[in-house]
Copies of this chain bind each other. A is one copy, B any other.
Amino acid sequence: MNEVVLLTGALGNVGRTILSHLSDSYTWRLIDNRPPDSDFPYDIIAADILDTSAVTEAVEGVNAIIHLAGDPQTSASWKSVLRNNIEGTQILLEAAVNSGVERFIFASSNHVVGHYETNDKPTLSDPNSPFPLDGTELPRPGNLYGASKAIGEILGRYYHDEYGISVICVRIGNLNEDAPPVDYARGQSMWLSKRDCGHLFDRCLQAVYGYEIIYGVSDNDSSYYSLDRARTILGYVPRDNSAEHIS
């Protein structure tokens, strides 16, 4: 029997990508606070993740959660991320452990470490450079949105340590069908193709782990981010490389 997976923020870019690649592999339960397009082919729970009773109901009988819901704007205000990203994630984690959910896949972001690029453009060949980042470094959020994602990672760490739920934080790069322009180094570094995205979340649903922080990007020639942990722990085998897919 298929595993039941709750997908929050299912109508966003990442959610639709996951669904389009993995629709038949899992029994999906979808939730989003926006109304779906009329041709959206799945049932969806119309509720906000701040609605504790709706969330409590939604997680019942679920094996895994992919948590994408939240304010995705990098310019989001503190007020918005405090509610939608920080409170929302805590409500979902609390409901998950109360309901015995086994794994929690958290959509984190490259913006958790955006300020590593503050003063200088990263030089990947510099032996003193912190790049490539591998997920063991302390967060340096580039904006309050990134701070809220770093905070979600900490909440995940706590709920894992305290309750044993498996938690993986995926610092998602730039999800696009086409690779960014060749002269946009940052975009080239963090491109995540749609098929690599689908595969990555599939691995997050299948692999065995306790608590992990990984980067979610394709196998790009030059990257600020290491894929070592994703390869080792998840068996992630990306097929795309921004250098070979110049838009």
Binding site for B on A (CB under 8 A): 78, 82, 86-87, 90, 94, 115, 118, 136, 138-144, 146-147, 150-151, 154-155, 157-158, 161-162, 213
Contacts and interface: CB of A to CB of B under 8 A. Distances in A.
A113 to B, nearest CB: 11
Given A78-B90, A136-B138, A158 B147 contact: yes
Contact of A151 (B115, B143, B144, B151): B151
Given A87-B82, A136-B138, A138-B138, A144 B158 contact: yes
Given A115-B158, A138-B213, 8 more contacts: A86-B86, A138-B138, A139-B157, A141-B157, A141-B161, A147-B155, A151-B154, A154-B154
Contacts of A146: 158
A146 B161 CA distance: 13
Main secondary structure of the interface of A (DSSP, over half): helix
Contacts of A143: 158
Copy tally for this chain in the complex stands at 2
Contacts of A150: 154
Given A87-B82, A90-B78, A139 B154 contact: yes
A143 B154 CA distance: 11
A118 B82 CA distance: 29
Nearest to A94: B78
A140 B115 contact: no
Contacts of A157: 115, 138-141
Contacts of A142: 161
28 contacts: A78-B90, A78-B94, A82-B86, A82-B87, A82-B90, A86-B86, A115-B157, A115-B161, A115-B162, A136-B138, A138-B138, A138-B157, A139-B154, A139-B157, A140-B157, A140-B161, A141-B154, A141-B157, A141-B158, A142-B161, A143-B158, A144-B158, A146-B158, A147-B154, A147-B155, A147-B158, A151-B151, A154-B154
Interface centre among A86, A136, A139 (most CB of B within 10 A): A139
Contacts of A161: 115, 118, 140-142
Contacts of A136: 138
A129 to B, nearest CB: 17
Interface centre among A78, A87, A115, A158 (most CB of B within 10 A): A158
A138 B213 CA distance: 11
Contacts of A139: 154, 157
